[in-house]
Amino acid sequence: MTALRVPLDLGALRSMLAGEELHPLDLGELHIGKGTIGRLGELVSRLGRSPASIVILAAATPITASGHDLRDVIGSVLRPGSSHRWVVLGSADGYVHADEDTVARARQAAAGADCVIGVGSGTICDIAKAAAPGAAALVLVQTATSVNGYADPFSVLLKSGVKRTTPTRWPDALVADTDVLAAAPARLNLAGLGDMSAMFTATADWYLAALLRADGPPYSAAVAGLVRPYGEPMLGAGATLPRDPGQLADLARLLTLSGIGMGLTGGTASASGMEHAVSHLLEMAATATGAAASLHGEQVGVASIVAAATWAHVRETIGRNGFGKQPRIPDADATAARITTAFATLDPTGAMAAECLADYAAKMKLLASGDPLAPLRDAWEDHDAALGRLLIGPHELAAGLKAAGLPVRFGDLPTAVDDDEARWAVANCALQRRRFGVADLAMLLGAWEDEDVAAVLAAAEAAGAKAEDHR
């Protein structure tokens, strides 16, 4: 088993990045380790806003800490003189969707509170960031190493059924007690490793988008360097990670670094590329149809293998054919029709398609201004080398995820995705949002036809099958 050994000190991090042109790091305090939940009362009191009214947002899912109900533990450590009220969001079975109605209910519940505490995994904490009044203190209690979205100033919310990253706020404090993390279902903790596997593909998408001056934050090697050096050790952490407090603390710190990186750059491009767009489409489909979905990180892990295969396909295409004389700029009318068709089954009202088209239209406008591939044409060998240092091959990625106990094929997900749905999500992932990624590059090269998508899916499937054979 490989040890991650991820150090994280907010003061040292601020000093290290002082010369970079980045957004402020406004995460107030970070408490990761054994017994940190016991500091919650002192922490809330120390925030300096005299909290007398505390609203605690959570799902219905039971959560424990060292064998005790976490609600009782939190109630016992909050300081006398402060009143606290639990607000349960979502359904009785613990499912929570960050849709407009749920966020509105959370905002109503949090109105007038001196302190809002979000207790749960990613969705609850995203809702807490969106719901907490600006004058209230915001404390997040992370209950699993499931996603990287705890320590950033964004929330992934549903808008007309479409997943959208929305600026919200940094938490004033993040608490991750390894006793709580270790009590989480193993799947939830491993999902964070799946979410972090995006570093092997999303960082390359980010580099590409910044190079082509597409929508999104400028590329920062310093921010990419916060997490990418831990990639291979993370894949070697092994299946013992979900119950090893030391490894869980390291994974929590790595997830936190990834979230901080997004906040520093003012967007999620540093950690969210094609693989997240594919996962978002699968989650949107599940939400629209009322079906159960696999965990976000589980889907991102599988989709990362597909994204790695897409990058291999694109680089091979350029090596064989070059860039061609003219990029294939998407036709506006044809694209509108394609988006409408792609989402018609999920939402007959057309609201989902309209939301996607509105975002994608901004990308089409950028692509239509001049030759978007000119920066790549001018120095492809240098850029290809830089991309190669960020990327990982689909076989290597599948082997690492499988060794950790994660699914590596769409059909292996706990809620299996069949071939037709996988093809739909991969083929249409670039149409969901304005951010530029490798699938957009493939489209411009004329290398994202039905046969190209089929080839990429076949390559990813072969990588997954090989990982299965060598488990």
Comparing CA positions, the residue from 92, 135, 90 lying closest to residue 110 is 135
Q: How many CB atoms lie within 10 A of CB 278?
A: 30
Q: Are 132 and 138 spatial neighbours (Cβ–Cβ below 8 Å)?
A: yes
Lowest average pLDDT, out of 20-24, 285-289, 305-309, 466-470, goes to 466-470
Could you read off the pLDDT of 11-66 as tens digits, one per residue? 999 999 999 999 999 999 999 999 999 999 999 988 876 778 999 999 999 998 88
% of the chain with per-residue pLDDT over 90: 78
Comparing CA positions, the residue from 377, 200, 333 lying closest to residue 271 is 200
β-partners of residue 142 are 120
Q: Where in the chain is CATH 3.40.50.1970?
A: 10-184
CA–CA dist 232, 471 (Å, integer) = 18
pLDDT for residue 257: 97
pLDDT for residue 239: 66
* Inter-helix orientation angle 186-196/296-321, to 10°: 20
% of the chain with per-residue pLDDT over 70: 98
Q: Quick one: how many helices (H) and strands (E) in the chain?
A: 21, 10
Could you read off the pLDDT of 204-250 as tens digits, one per residue? 999 999 998 767 789 999 999 999 999 988 888 766 777 788 999 99
The torsion angle over the Cα atoms of residues 133, 136, 142 and 148, rounded to 10 degrees, is 50
The torsion angle over the Cα atoms of residues 307, 309, 314 and 320, rounded to 10 degrees, is 180
194-210+273-469: what fold? Answer: Dehydroquinate synthase-like, alpha domain (1.20.1090)
Could you read off the pLDDT of 142-188 as tens digits, one per residue? 999 999 999 999 999 988 888 899 999 999 999 999 999 999 999 99
Type of residue at 7: P
CA–CA dist 191, 279 (Å, integer) = 13
pLDDT for residue 191: 95
With 90 as the cut, is the pLDDT of residue 5 above it?
no
User: What pLDDT band is residue 2 in, cutting at 50, 70 and 90?
Assistant: low
CATH number of 10-184: 3.40.50.1970
The enclosing H or E element of 191 equals helix 186-196
Q: Which two tokens stand for residue 228?
A: 């990418």
Could you read off the pLDDT of 335-357 as tens digits, one per residue? 999 999 999 999 999 999 999 99
In angstroms, how far is CA 420 from the centroid of its own chain? 24
Q: Where in the chain is CATH 1.20.1090?
A: 194-210+273-469
User: What pLDDT band is residue 465 in, cutting at 50, 70 and 90?
Assistant: very high
pTM of the model: 0.94
